[in-house]
Amino acid sequence: MKTRSLDVRGLEAPEPLERILGALESLPGDGRLEVIHWREPLLLYPILEEGGWRHKTEYNEQDRTYLISIWKDGQ
């Protein structure tokens, strides 16, 4: 499985969402996207769920960032 990283910290809303959606469109079927974000992207989750993506979010207390992993079902 190929993993791609995307750092969207410091971007003006809604650029983080724009970049994440762009990255997902070009992600291979067995790929995995790992997004580093400085806030929890609440709007992204329902979009992912309706689009058949799975996701998991971890919060890093030390640098106060969220790591959101996104992949397609069945992997």
Partner 1 sequence: MNLGALSLENAPGFWTPVRFFLTAPVFGMLAAGLIFVDGGQLLQSRWLPGSLAVAHAFTLGYIAMAMLGALFQMLPVLMGAVFPQAARAAMIVHLLMTLGTLCLVFAFLVQRPLLFAAAVVLLAPVLILFGAGVLVAIFRTGKVSTTARAVQLAALGLIVTVMLGGYMALGHAFGTAPINNVLTNYHAAWGVIGWILILAVGVSEQVIPMFLTTPPYPGLFNKRLAYLLMLLLVAGSLLPLRGLELAAVVLAGCLMLAYAVVTLQLLGKRRRKRFDITNAYWQVGMLCLVPGAGTNVYSYFGGAMGGADLALLSGLLLLVGFAVSIINGMLYKIVPFLVWLNLRMPAVMGKLKPGTRYYTPNIHEVINVRPMQVQLMFHVAGLLLLVAAVFFQGLTVYAAATAVLVSNLLLLLNLAHAVRLYRKYSSRAIAVR
Q: Is 20 exposed, middle or buried (0-12, 13-18, 19+ CB in 10 A)?
A: buried
Q: In the complex, which residues of this chain contact partner 1 (CB under 8 A)?
A: 10-14, 17-18, 21, 24-25, 39, 42-43, 45-47, 50-52
Comparing CB distances to partner 1, the nearer of 6 and 17 is 17
Compute the least distance from the CB of residue 43 to partner 1, in Å: 5
Comparing CB distances to partner 1, the nearer of 50 and 58 is 50
Question: Among 30, 28, 32, which Cα is nearest to 6's?
Answer: 32
Compute the least distance from the CB of residue 18 to partner 1, in Å: 7
CB of 67 within 8 A of CB of 57?
Answer: yes
